[in-house]
Amino acid sequence: MTEKITFAPAVPIPAHLIGQVQSKLAYVDERILRGAVSPQGDGITLEVRVPLSPEEQKILEDKVQQVVAAMARGALRPKVKILEDYLDRPVPYGEDPMPELERRGEVFQEAAGIYTLGPLLTRLVAYFESRFEELAASFGAQPYRFPTLVPAKNLARVNYFHAFPHSLTFVTHLRSDLDVINHFAESAACDEHGILHTPEGTYADVETLLSPAVCYHLYFSLADKPLPAENVTATAVGNCFRYESSNLNSLERLWNFTMREVIFVGAKDFVLANRETARRRMEKIFAEIGLAYRVESANDPFFVGEFRKQAAFQSAFDLKFEIRARLPFKNDTLAVGSYNYHQDFFGRHLNITQADGSPVHTGCVAFGLERMAFAFLAQYGFDESAWPEAVRKGAAA
């Protein structure tokens, strides 16, 4: 039995922060099923799994107020820069594609945020990826294959634990001990909630995580030495993992998703010029795909304590722009990609240097493949004859 709790935030939540605050409510307490901020930013509603006593409600409300205060008090209104606006591009479909995808067996949910995709979605993903590879080829990007796992010590070097602790996914294994392994093999069992129960001391210390990003692996491989060439341009596709608690939702917000990236490493001018060139080239590709979208300034989903400062910094220096595709069925948009500039952050933290000894600058353009396919179906539906010609031919069965 769920219960709803409503209260006013201690600090009014400005309109530009409503979505960001709302997404963080999922991490406040495990009993929260859903959290919503009113459109005016003056009310918060929590749906909790179990009825709470007045004292428990008060404790929960205090935790939420901490989040609100940290994110909204003195919040800087970000610059809103729109680099491209094709949101009004006419599209023929207006339904949520998920029910039809489920009916057709095109998606199979293994768990929250974990999906198997069927043939139609796989064809679309392959097609969109081919277009992103086309972009990579236009830069002469060298292909790379990166691991799915990432050592904790590497993420620590780039302050990842500080900035995005909420979305980490940890990897471990059984301790290398015969008794532990035998005991596990004999007793391991999942309960009705899917929780694997094991005796304490079964698992080894965490030294590894599932990778949250693609481009980081290139930077790790270049660490602690001069850049091997004046500039490096690379491309790779990879699995990424970002835990989003109760925000995990359909193909819009997956725990395990795939990104294709084109990555630039070198001098500042090189990185910035190529990020801009990539955007202009993608503008033409998106026109062929017929995507209704907008490119606008954005910030990464930093956790509460870091949010205010980091988001303000990204905004001030135009570090991130998102490609936000229209979802007509909910009159909203979904980020399907981004154009990013990291300044010399990775160069400094990983000691990657240019010929003159100064730290390299980095940037990447990244595309979420499942989200691209989802947004396309949300705009064009399942009648392939209504799809733009390029997609119809490129993603043909």
Which CB atom, from 359 or from 394, has the smaller least distance to other proteins?
A: 359
82 binds other proteins (CB under 8 A): no
131 neighbors 286 (Cβ within 8 angstroms): no
Pattern 40-79, binding to other proteins, x per CB under 8 A?
----------------------------------x-xxxx
322 CB burial (10 A radius; 0-12, 13-18, 19+)? buried
- Tell me how far, at minimum, the Cβ of 299 lies from other proteins, in Å: 11
Instruction: Find the binder of other proteins among 154, 247, 315, 340 (CB under 8 A).
Output: 315
Rg, Å, the chain Cα set: 22
- Tell me how far, at minimum, the Cβ of 167 lies from other proteins, in Å: 19
- Tell me how far, at minimum, the Cβ of 86 lies from other proteins, in Å: 25
Dist CA 188 CA 265 (whole Å) = 46
312 binds other proteins (CB under 8 A): yes
Q: What angle do CA 26, 31, 37 make, to 5 degrees?
A: 40
Q: Find the binding residues for other proteins in span 340-369 (CB under 8 A).
A: 343-345, 348
Q: Which stretch binds other proteins (CB under 8 A): 21-29, 95-103, 131-139, 308-316?
A: 308-316
283 binds other proteins (CB under 8 A): no
Q: Which stretch binds other proteins (CB under 8 A): 6-14, 139-147, 148-156, 337-345?
A: 337-345
Dist CA 146 CA 175 (whole Å) = 26
- Tell me how far, at minimum, the Cβ of 214 lies from other proteins, in Å: 21
Of 279, 288, 294, 314, the closest CA to residue 393 belongs to 288
Dist CA 317 CA 342 (whole Å) = 10
101 neighbors 121 (Cβ within 8 angstroms): yes
User: Which two tokens mark 228?
Assistant: 């091997």
- Tell me how far, at minimum, the Cβ of 84 lies from other proteins, in Å: 20
44 neighbors 18 (Cβ within 8 angstroms): no
- Tell me how far, at minimum, the Cβ of 360 lies from other proteins, in Å: 12
Binding site for other proteins (CB under 8 A): 74, 76-79, 306, 309-310, 312-313, 315-317, 343-345, 348
